[in-house]
Chains A and B, each alone.
Chain A
């Protein structure tokens, strides 16, 4: 399965749950799979998608928070797995699109191409609900479970790079305000609310 096919399968399997997307190709493919108000596309801060999802999950226990990360991005912030394991938000679902390369920057091999196992890393940190999937059927089944069963979840999806053709034509502040409104924490106007 390509990452775009996997992204389409994810969006099709969800309702209005929030999805936080790591920068570059994971965000572009999520957009290509169908733009949603509850998508938070990052344009930078490589490595922090799982941390964003963790903060959101802690702030909003009634929301099931999905994150689409990359293997290269998660490798930049492996400590996040330890923090997720120690805080144990049951409503966080971290999906790793593991294409074994830095797809956005030209396809350089990541450590997962050499045997690094992010599912095992998550388990070693103390996250018990983990699964590695290699097919769309496997991914759909994992998402069905992760939508309802207590997490935190780490789903490592082995995917092929899909070379996205389009970037979301959306600015940072627009993404944020649309996202916050969609999940019920709309920002108040900056003028007239102070003093």
Chain B
């Protein structure tokens, strides 16, 4: 995710980024941006979905405020930190239980299409949608022989 932020900062001056102090706050800011006519994206690590649930379930979903959510996965294959695993395993059932659609990208080639499709669907249907970027994509394991 830091790489994505660096590229946006260096190559896409028309994309404005704001760093929040926690993920729930980012969803609140994104909702305000949408009310003002912008098309916001919230980027977070999977561990941050846990403290975003009240914003999603009592603001974005009932008010039909769409946001593109890009989630950098932790706790999936290749993880080294046991504390990341429980939310990594739970994140898809949590999104499903809230009715938030999600697609996973495992490869760089597929990522642009996944992000575009989820974003188009979110803003067309006024429902937040999530792209999950797997650890195989964001932190490819070193192959040992």
> How many chain-B residues does the 8 Å CB contact rule pick out?
34
**Chain B nearest Cβ from A95, distance in angstroms:** 16
State in angstroms the CA–CA spacing of A179 and B36 once bound together. Answer: 10
- Listed A/B pairs (10) with beta-carbon separation below 8 Å: A48-B28, A50-B28, A52-B28, A52-B29, A55-B34, A63-B36, A79-B25, A83-B18, A176-B64, A180-B37
> Is the CB–CB distance between A83 and B25 below 8 Å?
yes
CB within 8 Å of A: which of B34-82? Answer: 34-38, 40, 54-55, 57-59, 62-65
**Given A58-B18, A59-B38, does the pair A173, B33 have CB atoms closer than 8 Å?**
no
User: Is residue A40 within 8 Å, beta carbon to beta carbon, of the partner chain?
Assistant: yes
Pick from A49, A50, A51 the residue with the most CB of B within 10 Å: A51
Chain A, 122-179, CB within 8 A of any chain B CB:
172-173, 175-176, 179
Give every chain B residue within 8 A of A175 (Cβ-Cβ). 63
Question: When the two chains form their complex, are residues B55 and A55 in contact, meaning their CB atoms are under 8 A apart?
Answer: no
The residues in B between 117 and 145 inclusive whose CB is less than 8 angstroms from any CB of A are: 120, 124-126
Give B residues with C-beta under 8 Å from A.
16, 18-22, 24-25, 27-38, 40, 54-55, 57-59, 62-65, 120, 124-126
A70, CB-defined interface residue at 8 Å: no
**A82 contacts partner chain B, Cβ-Cβ < 8 Å:** yes
Shortest distance in angstroms between A160's beta carbon and chain B's nearest beta carbon? 28
Contacts known (A80-B25, A82-B21, A176-B64); A54 close to B32, Cβ less than 8 A? yes
Chain A residues in 8 Å Cβ range of B120: 194
| Cβ contact within 8 Å between A44 and B30 | no
How many angstroms between the C-alpha atoms of A46 and B59 in the bound complex?
9
Does chain B have a CB within 8 A of A108? Answer: no
- Return chain A residues, CB-CB under 8 Å to B30: 55
Residues of A within 8 A of B126 (CB): 187, 190
- Give the contacts of A65-93 with B (CB-CB under 8 A): 77, 79-80, 82-83, 86-87
**Taking A52-B32, A56-B33, A176-B35 as contacts, is the C-beta distance between A194 and B59 under 8 angstroms?**
no
- A152 CB, nearest partner CB in chain B, Å: 13
Q: How far is the CA of A187 from the CA of B34 in the complex (A)?
A: 10
A55 and B32 in contact (CB under 8 A), knowing A79-B21, A87-B18, A173-B63? Answer: yes
